[in-house]
Structure 1
Amino acid sequence: MRWIYPILANRSILWLLLIVNIAGTIYGYYWYGWQLKKTPAIFLPFVPDSPTASLFFVLVLMAFLLKKNWPLLEALAIVTLFKYGIWAVVMNILVFIVQGSLDPVGFMLILSHFAMAVEGLLYAPFYRFKIKHLLIAAIWTLHNDIIDYVFFMLPSYHMLDKFIPQIGYFTFWLSLVSIGIAYYLVVRKNRFKLEIN
């Protein structure tokens, strides 16, 4: 697997990923536009989950291009990219099961969000965050779950409304798994470290 690391460290690849993620982030905030218009201001940072996750990664990529590491953003990126990437894939598959069909946008969301989850993990050898950064990312992520499922600020899929308790339960455990993966891939000792060229 290490053969891929020089490819990921290539500046042209980093620039390509940066452009793609900036475009995806902008589209993501646009996609949430109608929901954000009716969201109370206090909850605005916690509603557009996926574009905020990709925004974290945009900033991480910018740091890489500057030959720097921004550990807190790296922790936020890996946890939220995996969590919301997998979450959106599962939600859109559920929409397909409930409705019996899925429009082209739904299929695009499955592919793009799966790519989000993968890219966050692929760059794990580049991250330099410590347990304190991961704890902050964990608080952010679990707090977001509370905002979503206690105050019902979750992304709106009307056809899945009757499953919100089950979705909330799934999301909580997905958060813990995402935090655990980040710990395993980055924080634990004696792991491979890759320098960015």
Structure 2
Amino acid sequence: MISYEDLINLLKTAESAEEIDCHREEIAELIPQVRVMFDFDQKNHAHQYDLWMHCIHTVMNLDRNMDDDMLYLAALLHDIGKPDCQVAGSRPDDENMHYYGHPERSAEIVQDEILNTLYEHGANLLFEDQKRLVYYVRYHDEHVSLRMKHLRRHLEMVSLEEYKKLMLLQVADARAHVMIPVIEQRIEICQKLSGGYADYLQEQILAGK
């Protein structure tokens, strides 16, 4: 079984999705909950990968060796709640499966199950790390906006730097999709919010605008 430390190192340094995937069984021994993602067909026109490979590609779309381990772990686990949330479209002409509420379900699985599993296997995550991991997973698919009220709400939960890292996760997740217009728009907005525009909005908020 791969150790928690080795998993994090793999997620941060791997040079390809295939490099991570070849360790899938070892990862599943450490975190058995991930097995539900293996070969799970998402059956949605915005996705070209099964659920497991989508999450691995999300990991790979993050810059290598950033200092926040929880960002990589969140990328691996962000969609783990999807199988519990799969529903068919309500219109007869909708051939896609949908996953309403999956970020919240994913966050529940991480908080209620996976953190305990990791602890049992010797990973002693600090409370702040646990909180940040659950935050990243819960809000990885939230609708983003360049309006101040969007950032203001998140700054009531986390720091600006943590919010900007969430935007990096949103970009990484989006880039693991098929590049349809709505996905391209999401990437454009999140890239702005992962950089100087978020700083500008915070300044406006602090100035009472």
Q: Please, what TM-score do these two structures have when normalized by structure 2?
A: 0.29
Q: Which one scores higher on RCO, CA 8 angstroms, separation ≥ 6?
A: 1
Could you state the TM-score of these two structures normalised by the residue count of structure 1? Answer: 0.30
More helix per residue: 1
